[in-house]
Structure 1
Amino acid sequence: MSVLLYLLKTQVALLLLLGVYYGLLRRLTFHQLNRAYLLGSLLLAGLYPALDWSRLRPATVPTVPLLAEVPVWTSASGAVIPTNSGPDYGVWLLAAYGLGVGALLLLLLVQGTALWRLHRASRPAEADGMKFRAVAGKVSPFSFGRAIYLNPAHHAPAELPVVLLHELVHVRQAHTLDVLLGHLHRAMAWASPAAWLWLRATQENLEFIADAAVLRESQLAPKQYQYSLVRLSTLAAGPALVTPFSFITLKNRIRMMNSQPSTRRQLLRYAAGFTLLGLVAVGCATPKIAEMPQPEASVEQQARTTADQALYFIDGTPSSQAAAHQVDPSALKSMHVIKGRKFMPGFNEAAFRQDFGAMDDKGVILLVTKQGENSEALQAFTTKYNITFQEQNPNEKAITDALVAGRTISPAELQGRILLVNGVETAVENFSVPAGNMKSVYVLDAKRATEKFGAKGQNGAVVVMTK
C-alpha cells in the first residue's frame, strides 16, 4: 500500500470519528471521556488501514467463470514493443506532499526555538505556594511541559491564584502531550481537514477540562471566573505551540461552564457512537472471498500438455508429434518420457541444450522401434546425452503391450489396479480398444496412484487415452 493511500484511509477514518464526536459527544460534560475518545480516535484511525476488517463480514463463495481458450499469437519478428515511459505522477505527488510535510515540520522547529528563547528569558517565581516562570511583556498565561509562564504584573492579586490553578491543571494532566501530538499529526497530514479539526477539538476540550477543575477546586463564582477570562482575552496570544486564546474558544468555554452537567443516561451516546462506527466499519469492509479449491491437473491433462510441448525423437533422430503418431504401435519396442526438469540421473543437459535449445518445462519423448533399437543413430544419441534405459516391470509391460495391440486384459493382470479410460473409471470386463486407436497408456505405481485418486489407487492405476 502506497504512503498516500495509507494517509487517505487514515484521514477518512479520522473524519468519521470526529463526526461522531461533534455530532454526539462534544456538548457533554464528560470531558475526560472525550479526551480519551479523541486520543483513541487518532490511534484507531492510524491503525485502520492495517486491520483486516474483512473478517467482520461472512465469506462469499466466488462464482466460477467459464473457461475460455485464448490463443496466444507470437511475433514473427520477435521485436520487443517498448512500453510507454511517461512521467510518474504518483512520485511527483508524493514529492509535493513531502515538501509540505517538511515545511510544517520546519515551522514546528522554529516555533520550538522561539519557545526555548522565551524560557531562557524568563525567571523563576512563586505566588500563593505555586511556582511559575515570570516573563516580560503583555502575554496571556500558558503552560508547556511542567512549567507555567505568565507576567504577574498584568494580574490582580485575587486573580493570580485562579490563573495559576488553571495552568496547573494543564501541567498535572500532561495536556502538552496532546497538543504536541496534534501539531505533529497536522504536519504529517497537512492536506487533511481532519488533522486540523482534531487539533482544534483537542485544544478546546483541554480548556473545558481546566475550566471545570478550576470551578470545582476554587471558591470563585462561575461569573467572576468568566469575567476574568474575558479580561485575559485582551492580552497578546502565547507561543504557537500552546493552546491559543481566542474569542471563539472563549465563547464556547463560557457556554460549556453555564451548561448543566450531563446525566448518566447521556453515556448512551458513547455506546450509540461506537455502534454507528461499527456498522460503518462492517459496511465498508470488503467481504473475504472464500478460496475455491483448485483442481489438480489430471494425469490425462498432464500427459496431453507434455505431449503437445515435447521434443520428439524416433530412434535418436529428431522428429515431430505428427510423425510419432504415425508409428505403428506394434512396431514400437519402448517409449521413454523425460518430463520437465526431472531428468534421469546423469542426463547431459548442457549438451542437449546446446543442440536443441533451452528445455524449460518441455519434455522429451523418445520412441524406440523394434527395427531401430540397435541402430547407430540411437546409440550415438544415448551416448552423447548419457541416456540410460530402465527395464520396465514385466507385469506393466504385459499390460501396455496388450492394450496397444488391442487385446483385452483380465482382472488378474491388473492386480488390483484401477483402470481409467479418458478420465473415467472403467471395469476391465467392459473395456476393449481396437488396435491403432490407442493414444497413450500410463501405468502408475501405488504411491503416485494414491496421490492422484485416493484409496482407490492403493494398488496402482492404468490410465488410458484413446484417439
Structure 2
Amino acid sequence: MEIYLLKSTASLIVLLGIYHLFLEKEKMHTFNRFYLLFSLLLSFTIPFITIEVAVESLPKPLLLSQSAPNQVLTQTQNQTIAVDVAQVLESETNYIPIILWSLYVMATLFLVIRFGKNIYSLILKAKKSRKVAFNCSTLVLSKEEQLPHTFLQYIFINEDDFNSQNIQQELYTHELTHVRQKHTYDVLFIEILKTLFWFNPILVFYKKAIQLNHEFLADENVVESHKNVSFYQNLLVEKASWNSNFYLASNLNFSVTKKRLIMMTKTTSKSRAFLKKIALVPVLAGLVFASCIEKTAAKDKEPEVWINGERVKESEMNQPISNWKKEQPNENNQTNEAAYFAGVRFIIYKTGTWTKDRVQGKDIILDKTYEELTAEEKDRFKPYLRIPKGHVKKSPTAAELEDYKDSKKYAIWIDDVNVKNTELNNYSPSDIAYVLGSSVMKNARTQKHPQPFQFHFYTHNYFDKKQMGKAPEKYPLDKVEIFDKIIKN
C-alpha cells in the first residue's frame, strides 16, 4: 500500500508540475482539460503497470532443504556446516495498522456522507424550484440571491433577475458552455478521488486546475460568440464580489484573477501547441518507464545437455546433479549409517559468526558423537545423515560425446585433469566409464572457464582405481556443525 501511494503521489506531482510550467498558460484548453483528467487516471493506475527488464541475478548463497524447511546447508573449504535457522513462533499484535485503518474508514465515511448530502441538496433544490427549459439545459429559478451556477444540466439563477431580464446574454453563454461540455462530471470525478484519498493534498490543486480550465473554456466560448472582450471582462470584475457555497457547481466568478483576464486576449499558434503536445510524449513515456520498471532475473537459454543417454530436462537444471542422472544406485555397495558416521561429532551452537572462510561457533548447546545421539536428536540431524551411493558404469553415446567437444558449452575434465575439448577426439564412447556434470551460474564463471556447463569424464581404469562404483565407507570429516543463528562480522 505504501509503494502504491508513493508512486501515485509522485506521478501526480510530476504531471501537475508539467501542466503549470508548460501547458496552463497556453490557449489550448480542450487539450489541457483531457491532460488533467488523463494525469489523474494515469497516476492512480501506474502502480499496477509493470515493465519487466531481465537482468543477471546472483545466486542465493544458501539453499533451503526441502526435507527440513527451517534448516540450511552451506559448504566451507574444509568441512560441511549444517545451519539451523531459528524460527519466530510468536509475534505481538501490531495495533497501529488497525488504528490507522479505523481512522481512515471513519474519515472516509464522513466525507462520503457529506458528498452525498451536497449532491442531494442540489438535486432537491432543482426539484422544488420552478424550472424553465432553455436550449440544452434547464433553468432553475430560485428565490436566493445568487450568481448563475451550473450542476449537470441545471443552471441555477435568481428568479427575480430572470423575470426582470437582468441577466446578461454573456452569462447565459458562459453557463451553457459548462452544460454542453459536461464540466460537472469532471468535478464529480475529482471529488470522488478527494473523498477516497482525502489525505493526499495534491488533489486539492488538481481540482483548482480543473475548475480554472473549465472557466477558460467557458470564457473562450463567450468571447468567440459575443466578440466583446472588454465588456465581458468588466462584467466578470463586477460580479467578482459574489460568493457561491456550492463547491460541486461550476461558478461564474470562480478564480476571477489576472490569469482569466489575460487568457481572453492571448493567442497560441498551432505550431507552438503542436510542439508542446509532441514534447509530452517522451516525458510521459519516461515517467511510466521510471515508475513501472521492475528488474527480473534473466532466463538464459542454455544448450541442451545429455547425460548417459538421456536428455536433462530444463526443470531439473537448478537441481543437484544427482537428480539429473537416471541411473540406479549400486544397491550391493551401500554403507551402513552407523558405520559411515561412526565417531563423527554432531555439534549445535547457539550462534555462529562468519569469518573469512568458515563459520565460528559459540555457546555449544549439544556436542555428541553419532553413537551418543538419541532417536529424537538423530531425527533432527536426519537431513544430514545422507550416505553417498556408488556409481554404476554407463558410457555416453557417440552423439553425446561429439556434443561435449563444443568448447563454448562445456569445460572438460578427464580423470580429474582439466583438458581442452579436442582431447575427447582421442576417446571413443566405450573408453568412458562414467560422466558427471553440472551447470555453472554466470557469476561463478571465470575467464578461463566461461562455459555454462562443466563435465568430468572418467575412464575405466580411473573409475576402478578410485573405487567410484563403491559407496564410501566413512564420512570424510570429523564433525557436523549446526548453528541456531548466524551473525555476520
Alignment equivalent of 1:428, drawn from 459, 483, 486: 459
Question: Counterpart in 2 of 1:225?
Answer: 232
How far, CA to CA, are the matches of 1:65 and 1:11 in structure 2? Answer: 34
Per the TM alignment, residue 204 of structure 1 is displaced from its structure 2 partner at its CA by: 0.7
1:370 corresponds to: none
* In structure 2, C-alpha distance between the alignment counterparts of 1:272 and 1:22, rounded to whole Å: 15
Tell me what 2:322 maps to: 299
Equivalent residues, number: 357
Show structure 2 runs of 5+ residues with no match.
63-73, 301-316, 345-374, 395-428, 439-454, 478-489
8 Å contact kept, 1:123–1:134: yes
1:444 aligned partner:
none
Query: Are residues 118 and 287 of structure 1, via their aligned partners in 2, closer, same or farther at CA, if it must alter by over 3 Å?
Result: closer
Q: Work out the CA distance in 2 between the residues paired with 1:139 and 1:290.
A: 64
Query: 2:13 maps to what in 1?
Result: 15
Paired residue for 1:164? 172
Equivalent residue for 1:141? 148
Aligned to 2:201: 193
Distance in 1 (alpha carbons) for counterparts of 2:84 and 2:297: 36
CA contact (8 A) 2:175 2:252 kept: no
Q: CA deviation at 1:433?
A: 3.7
Give how far 1:241 is off. Answer: 1.2
| Runs of 5+ unmatched residues, structure 1 | 307-311, 326-352, 368-392, 397-413, 442-464
2:434 alignment partner in structure 1: 419
Distance 1:72 1:361 in 2: 9
CA contact (8 A) 1:127 1:161 kept: no
Task: From the CA coordinates, give the structure whose radius of gyration is larger.
Answer: 1
Cα-to-partner distance string for 1:207-248 (whole Å, 9 max, x where unaligned) = 1111111111235x1111122222333334152211355574
Normalized per residue, the structure richer in helix is: 1
Conserved 8 A contact 1:31-1:208? yes
CA contact (8 A) 2:29 2:217 kept: yes
Q: Are the structure 2 counterparts of residues 214 and 290 from structure 1 closer, same or farther at C-alpha, using a change threshold of 3 Å?
A: same
* TM-score, normalisation: structure 1: 0.63
* Alignment-derived partner of residue 410 in structure 1: none
Say if 2:62 is the partner of 1:62: no
> How far is the alpha carbon of 1:203 from its aligned partner?
0.7
Structure 1 counterpart of 2:340, from 310, 315, 321: 321
**Residue 258 of structure 1: SS of its match in structure 2?**
coil
Q: Which has the higher contact order (CA 8 A, sep 6+)?
A: 2
Shift of 1:199: 1.0
- RMSD of equivalent CA atoms: 4.5
Q: Deviations over 1:230-275 (max 9, x none)?
A: 2333334152211355574443221211223444223212222332
The one-letter amino acid paired with 2:229 is P
How many angstroms does 1:176 deviate by?
Answer: 0.9
CA 1:436–1:267 in 2, change beyond 3 Å: closer, same or farther? closer
Partner residue of 1:461? none
Counterpart CA distance in 1 for 2:88 and 2:291 is: 41
Q: State whether residues 229 and 250 of structure 1, in contact with CA within 8 Å, keep that contact through their aligned partners in structure 2.
A: no
How far apart, in 2, do the equivalents of 1:324 and 1:25 lie? 81
Alignment correspondent of 1:266: 273
Identity of aligned residues (%): 22
Is the CA contact (8 Å cut-off) linking 1:133 and 1:150 kept in structure 2?
yes
- Correspondences of 1:22-41 after superposition (within 5 Å): 22-41=20-39
Q: Higher strand proportion, which one?
A: 2
Say if 1:50 and 1:244 are closer, same or farther in 2 by CA, change over 3 A: same
Give me the whole-angstrom Cα distance separating, in 2, the residues matched to 1:366 and 1:27. Answer: 78
Equivalent-residue separation in structure 1 for 2:4 and 2:136 (angstroms): 50
Which of 251, 260, 271 in structure 1 is aligned with 2:258? 251
Distance in 2 (alpha carbons) for counterparts of 1:233 and 1:422: 85
One-letter code of the match for 2:41?
A: L
Post-superposition Cα deviations, 1:169-203, rounded to whole Å, max 9, x if no partner, equal 11111111101001111111112122111111111
CA-to-aligned-CA distance 1:401-430 (integer Å, 9 cap, x gap): xxxxxxxxxxxxx97975137985435344
Kept in 2, the 8 Å contact 1:145–1:174? The answer is yes
C-alpha distance in structure 2 between counterparts of 1:117 and 1:173, whole Å: 23
Instruction: Say if 1:13 and 1:418 are closer, same or farther in 2 by CA, change over 3 A.
Output: farther
Q: 1:112 aligns with which of 112, 115, 119?
A: 119
CA contact (8 A) 1:237 1:245 kept: no
